[in-house]
Amino acid sequence: MPALLGEAKALSRRADGDLCTAVNQASAIVGGRLYFAMGTYTFADGPAQSRQRKLFSIPLNESFNAHTVLSSNSFTSIDLPSDNGFPYDSDTGIFLYTNTTLWFYEPDYVGSSATNIWTYNAQNDTFAQVTVSGGENVPLQVYQGGYASDPATGRMYYTGGYRNSQKRKKRKEKRGREQSMEVTLEKRVPSPPWMQVLDASGGDHSAQWLEGAGGPTLLYGTLSYVRYGKKGILVGFGGVNPDDHSQFEDPRVGGYRNMTQIFVFDIDSQKWHTVRATGGRGISDIPDSRLNFCAGVSSAPDDSSFQITIYGGYKLSNVAPTNRVHVLTLPTFQWLDVTPVNQALGDGDYGRQTPRCLMWKDAQMIILGGTIQGNHKSNNTVVNTAACNATHPPILVLDTTTFEWKDTFNPDRTYSQPQRVYQLLGGDWRGYNKLTGPKGGFNNSELADIFSTTVKRVDQPVAFPALSPSPLGDPQAPSNVGAIVGASVGAVFGIVVAVALAWWFFKRRREIPDIPGAAHGQFGKPELDGTERSQAQKYGPGKFQSYELLGTVPANIHALDTMFELDSTSTAAELAAGKSPIGELPERPLL
C-alpha cells in the first residue's frame, strides 16, 4: 500500500517571478498539463540555478508566449514531499508516466530505491511513495539511459546507460604550489544489455518491475514509443556507445553512435532489431552524431507514417551544441533536415543541449530547458546559466506541420502530414503514403510484419474533472473517469427532471382559466432518451476510416470523407435548442 502524502491540494500561483532557465529537469505531459521538476532553475527575481522543491506545471488548454521568459501567469506549482529521500535535487532524474501518474524515477541517485518510488497522481492531486515489486530485475544506479512511456497501457521503459560500479578510490591532487586536496574518484563501467520495464497497468498500487529483454547501450541517446506492431515498438538512436573506444585516444571515452543506426524493439515479440536509415534527399539530410538531444513523435492522420522529430544536442563535428531540427520518417527510415530557415524564434546562432521535447497533439513540439551555448568550438560559451537573460529563453515552440518556430503556443493547433514528408512518401497531408518501408525493403520478414500494422490510436486525457478534497481518499482505488462522468450526467438529468416536474406542478396549482397549462411535449427538457447514431461516409478510394469520439476530432473535417463512431454501449444524448450541451469525457484511462 503506498504511503500517502497530502490530498487534493490545489495548484497555487508562485511569487517567484518569471522563469528564465531550467536545466536538467524532468518533464512530461499528463492530463493536459506539462509538468517539470528536479534539476535547477533561474527566476527573474531569484538566484541563478537554484534547487526548487516544487512540481511546476503549465496548462496546455491555454496559450502562452514562447521564445521569451515564461511568465509567472503561465505556470503553477505545488510543494514536493519533504521526505529526505525525495530526489528533488537530482540532475539525472526522469519522469516515467501513465495516463494519470508521474513516477519520479532517479536511476543514478545515491538514495534511490527501485522498490520505493515517489509518484504524483495528477487526477486526484496526490503524492505517494509506492512500493514496487520485482526489484531484483533492476540494476541499481544506472546513468543516462534511454526511456519511454506508453501511457495507454501503463508500461514504462528504461534501457542503456552506464552502471555505477560503486568502486571508489582516492588520490592526492595538487592545486597551486602549496595546496593539495584529496579527490574521490567514482568509476563507471559499461552496463551489460538490459532493459527495465515498470508495469503499472494494474494501477499504481500494484506496479511491478518486469524482466527486460536486453538491448543496446543508449547512453545519452533517445528512446521513443511508436504505435507500430501489435503492441507498439520502441525506437532508439544516437548518443554514445561506451563499448566503442575507437574514436578517441583516451580509452575511457566511448564513441558516438552513427545516426543511421536505428534500434527497434518490438514489444509483442520482445525482440530487438537494427535498421539502417538513409537521407531522404541525400547524405546531407542525415544528422551528425550527437548526444543530449531530445525527440517527439507525430503520426499522419491515417497512421500511414510516423515522424520522430529531434532538436539540439551536442555534436561531435563542431564540439558544441546544435540548433538544427531533423525528422526520422517511419516506416521508410529516412532522415530529413527540416531546420527552419528563420531561426529568430529559435535559438538563433546558438545551440542547446539537454533540452526536453514534449509533443502536444502531434502538431507542436515544446522544447523546454537545456543549456544554451555558442554552436561552434570557437565560441561555445554557456549563455543561460547566470542571471536572467530573456534573449535565451527557457521555452521554444516548433510547429511540426510547417517546421517553423512560433512565438505563441496554440492549444488548438491540429496536425497534417508535412509537405516535405508526403512528397518523399508519395502521399498527401492526410497520409495515403505509397512507400511502406525502406528502399529495398526490410532485411527480414519480422520487421515487415511489424511495420504493416499499427496500434489503435488512444487519445490521452486533456483535462481531469475537478475533485473535492477528501481526507479519507483511498490511494489504491483505481481512477474511473467514466464513473465520474456518468455520475455527473446522472445528476444533471435528475436536476432537469426535478425542475421540469416542479414547474409543471406549479402551473397545475395556479389553475388560471384563461392560460391553459403547457402540454408535456412543449417543455424545454433535455431529451436524454435519444438512440445511438453514426455517420458513415467513404474515406478515400474504397476505404473507411473511423474515429472514436474520445477526443478531439481532426481539423478540416469538411474535407474528409470520414466515418465517426460512438462506442457500441454509448447513447447519443441531445439537448433542446438553446440549452448548453453536456460535455462527455473519455472512459477511465488505463493505468
Per-residue cell: 303: 497512421
Contact (CB, 8 A) for 398 and 367 = yes
CA distance linking residue 203 with residue 199, whole number of Å: 9
In 3-state terms, what secondary structure has residue 402? coil
Distance set, CA 339 to CA 194, 212, 235, 442 (Å): 34, 36, 22, 28
For residue 420, give the H/E element and its range: helix 419-425
| pLDDT tens digit at each of 591 positions of the chain | 344 444 333 333 333 589 999 999 999 999 999 999 999 999 998 899 999 999 999 999 999 999 999 999 999 999 999 987 888 988 889 999 999 999 999 887 555 567 889 999 999 999 999 999 988 777 666 778 899 999 999 999 998 766 654 433 344 444 344 444 443 434 444 555 578 899 999 999 999 999 878 788 888 999 999 999 999 999 999 998 877 777 766 666 678 999 999 999 999 999 999 999 999 999 999 999 999 999 999 999 999 999 999 999 998 778 899 999 999 999 999 999 999 999 999 999 999 999 999 999 999 999 999 999 998 888 889 999 888 888 899 999 999 999 999 999 999 999 999 999 999 999 999 999 999 999 999 999 999 999 999 999 988 788 887 654 433 334 344 444 344 444 444 544 455 445 455 544 444 443 433 323 333 333 333 333 333 333 333 333 333 343 333 333 333 333 333 333 434 443 333 433 443 333 333 333 333
- Report the distance separating Cα 398 and Cα 25, nearest Å: 20
Q: What is the helix (H) or strand (E) element at residue 503, kind and residue range?
A: helix 481-510
- Please name the residues in contact with 459: beta carbons below 8 A apart, sequence gap of 6 or more: 550, 551, 552, 586
CA-closest candidate to residue 191, choices 105, 107, 106, 95: 107
Residue type (1 letter), 169: K
Other beta carbons within 10 Å of 534: 11
Q: State the Cα–Cα distance between residues 154 and 341, nearest whole angstrom.
A: 39
442 phi/psi in degrees, rounded to 5: -75, 155
**Which uninterrupted H or E stretch holds 446?**
helix 445-450
CA distances from 213 to 134, 265, 539 (A): 15, 9, 40
DSSP-H helix ranges across 194-321:
none
Contact 28, 17 (CB under 8 A): no
Instruction: Say how many C-beta atoms besides its own lie within 10 A of residue 529's C-beta.
Output: 8
Distance (Å, rounded) from C-alpha 208 to C-alpha 393? 39
Amino acid at 408: T
Strands of the sheet containing 306-311, edge to edge, are 278-279, 334-337, 325-330, 306-311, 294-299
Grid cell locating 446: 519480422
| Cβ-contact 252, 275 below 8 angstroms | no
- According to DSSP, the residues that pair with 112 across neighbouring strands are none
Tell me: cis bond preceding 321? Omega within 30 of 0 counts.
no
On whether the CB atoms of residues 275 and 447 are closer than 8 A, the answer is yes
Strand partners, 119: 103, 128
Domain limits, the chain? 1-131, 277-455
Residue type present at position 423: Q
DSSP codes, 302-338 = TSS-EEEEEE--EETTTTEE---EEEEEETTTEEEE-
